[in-house]
Structure 1
Amino acid sequence: MPTSDVLVYTRTAGYRHDSIPAGADAFVDLSRHVGLEAAVTDDPAEFTGERLERCVAVVLLSTTGSVFTDPARSALESYVRRGGGLLAVHAAANAEPGWPFFGDLLGTRFAGHPPLQPGLVHVEDTAHPATAHLPAEWAWTDEWYDFTSPPRDAGVHILLRADESTYRGGTHGADHPLSWCHEKAGGRFFFTALGHTSESYTAPAFRAHLSGALHWAASRR
């Protein structure tokens, strides 16, 4: 069966971001531009082996809390282990707290954030498709997520990090990753902590960030 689509999952069992509809629309549009079809769902019953076999990538869009059933977890884990791509956006760092496989993919967990405010993002990888278009220092407004442990310690490939000297409330110091990726368990995993506001998903720089992330995550299939 050909792999030609993207599954965007939006279920929440905790805080629900107002930006989810805008994010879903963005992924539908970005997928269409590269000849893919994106389906948006909040139904865990969609996560079956047969359904996921058609996917080049799965997107967890600001999912929070325990959002999968056990059969859905099993299907998604099998999909990744068969070479699937998983892209987690913003509050997805706070999803599935009791699922070790997802925690291992993420490499850390969400700890909190200061109020929404502007700051600077430093680009560590200037060649990755999700970051090649960005300036070395990128001015951006978001919730600057903090994590329970240093993401770099998990062996992930860091793409973006926050400059804590440009905003108030950061807890990581000089090394504060915001976006990373890696190949693990047979598949590809990409995370970006950015994307709190609805306006983010119409901003050209952020849309290009998501488009590059989707391209990278899907390239194994």
Structure 2
Amino acid sequence: MRSILFSLLVFTAAGLQAADKLKVLIVDGQNNHKWDITTPVLKHALESSDAFTVEVSTTPPKGAPKEAWQAWKPVFSEYAAVVSNYNGEPWPQAVRDAFTKYVADGGGFVSVHAANNSFPDWKEYNDMIGVGGWGGRNEKSGPWLYVKDGKLFRDTSAGNGGAHGPQHEFIVEIQSPDHPITRGLPKRWLHAKDELYSKLRGPAENVEVLSTAVSDLTAVNEPNNMVLAYHKGRVFHTTLGHADYSMLDRGFYTLLQRGTEWVATGNVERTAAVPADFPTETTVSVVKLEGYPKQEAPKPKKK
């Protein structure tokens, strides 16, 4: 009897612990990046914090028949946050409407890297992410958002949205040290080899820039981590994370964990501790994940 009671107590405690975790959905399935390789890293980044349980919803592949898309109906309202690792064909209107309602009603949304290339013609989505790149974006999409001399600029001059130079390590500089997502992190830290997005354009409303990096193309501080309000919902937008070797950066792990908790709850408590191995201004810190990185980072070109 005692062993049965003990087993019941252990089972109940485990169930309560799982129920206490925030439920997160990652959406993938199409991307100009290797989503099948990077989604497992995103999943590990979140679950390794012990703050989240993560499920994945994979869209039909590019060119799939209409029937396949009609069958893809994620129930966003079942999750505290939705993380997008998607850049591809437009979602069905019913799914777009459901997602817009989800965020507007208070759902949390995290846009990762090329997710900001998606849906250039979906107004509500562009309002959520603030700025995006490529997909025909230009001055008509909205201003180019950047930081110069400590001030946020919305440049309305003509030009295409979205650019980056060769992948390289770069310094991430915190611009909003008092925000819960960045609180306590070093002012400047070296990020692993990645694409440094620049010249992003969009509505750029209700946005707070958390961190930036000086672009090799524009010589100004380009936003790489932002938060936005969309009606009752919260959005965390990171431009970092081109490949698995970029996402395995401990700084990326920390910001993804904190950003996801913040969009889900409005606070950062479960993921607030600053890891002992957080990168410094001179040293990259890479998370050890068995079998990763699967992708090979490009080597610098000889001059």
Shorter-chain TM-score above 0.5? yes
| Contact 1:8-1:38 within 8 A present in 2 as well | yes
Please, which moves more after superposition, 194-203 or 97-106? Answer: 194-203
Q: Pick the structure with greater CA Rg.
A: 2
Change (3 A) 1:112 1:163: closer
| Contact 2:240-2:247 within 8 A present in 1 as well | no
2:108 to 77, 80, 85: 85
Change (3 A) 1:210 1:70: same
CA distance in 2, matches of 1:3, 1:119: 33
1:41 corresponding residue in structure 2: 57
CA distance in 2, matches of 1:131, 1:109: 22
SS at match of 2:126: helix
1:144 to 191, 196, 199: 196
Change (3 A) 1:150 1:83: closer
Normalized against structure 2, the TM-score is what? 0.62
Does 1:72 pair with 2:95?
Answer: yes
By percentage of residues, which structure has more helix?
Answer: 1
CA drift of 1:30 comes to 1.7
SS at match of 1:146: coil
Please, which moves more after superposition, 141-150 or 185-194? Answer: 141-150
> How is 1:41-190 mapped onto 2 (pairs within 5 angstroms)?
41-43=57-59, 45-48=71-74, 51-61=75-85, 63-110=86-133, 111-140=162-191, 141-149=193-201, 153-164=204-215, 168=216, 170-171=217-218, 173-190=219-236
SS at match of 2:234: strand
CA drift of 1:121 comes to 1.4
> Could you say which structure has the greater relative contact order, defined with CA pairs below 8 angstroms and 6 or more residues apart?
1
Amino acid at match of 2:173: H
Amino acid at match of 1:7: L
| Contact 2:164-2:195 within 8 A present in 1 as well | yes
CA drift of 1:39 comes to 0.8
CA distance in 2, matches of 1:188, 1:57: 9
Amino acid at match of 1:40: V
| Contact 2:111-2:237 within 8 A present in 1 as well | yes
Amino acid at match of 1:10: D
Please, which moves more after superposition, 52-61 or 133-142? Answer: 133-142
Structure 2: runs of 5+ lacking an equivalent: 1-19, 60-68, 134-161, 268-303
Please, which moves more after superposition, 19-28 or 88-97? Answer: 19-28
Please, which moves more after superposition, 72-81 or 128-137? Answer: 128-137
Please, which moves more after superposition, 197-206 or 137-146? Answer: 197-206
SS at match of 1:182: strand
Percent of aligned pairs with the same residue? 27
SS at match of 1:39: strand
Please, which moves more after superposition, 83-92 or 100-109? Answer: 100-109
Please, which moves more after superposition, 101-110 or 78-87? Answer: 101-110
CA RMSD of aligned residues (A): 2.6
| Contact 2:129-2:228 within 8 A present in 1 as well | no
CA drift of 1:73 comes to 0.2
CA drift of 1:34 comes to 3.6
Structure 1: runs of 5+ lacking an equivalent: none
CA distance in 2, matches of 1:178, 1:150: 14
2:255 corresponding residue in structure 1: 209
SS at match of 1:112: coil
1:7 corresponding residue in structure 2: 25
CA drift of 1:40 comes to 1.0
Number of residue-to-residue matches in the alignment: 209
By percentage of residues, which structure has more strand?
Answer: 1
Change (3 A) 1:121 1:41: same
CA drift of 1:31 comes to 3.6
Please, which moves more after superposition, 181-190 or 36-45? Answer: 36-45
Normalized against structure 1, the TM-score is what? 0.83
CA drift of 1:35 comes to 4.4
2:38 corresponding residue in structure 1: 22
| Contact 2:28-2:39 within 8 A present in 1 as well | no
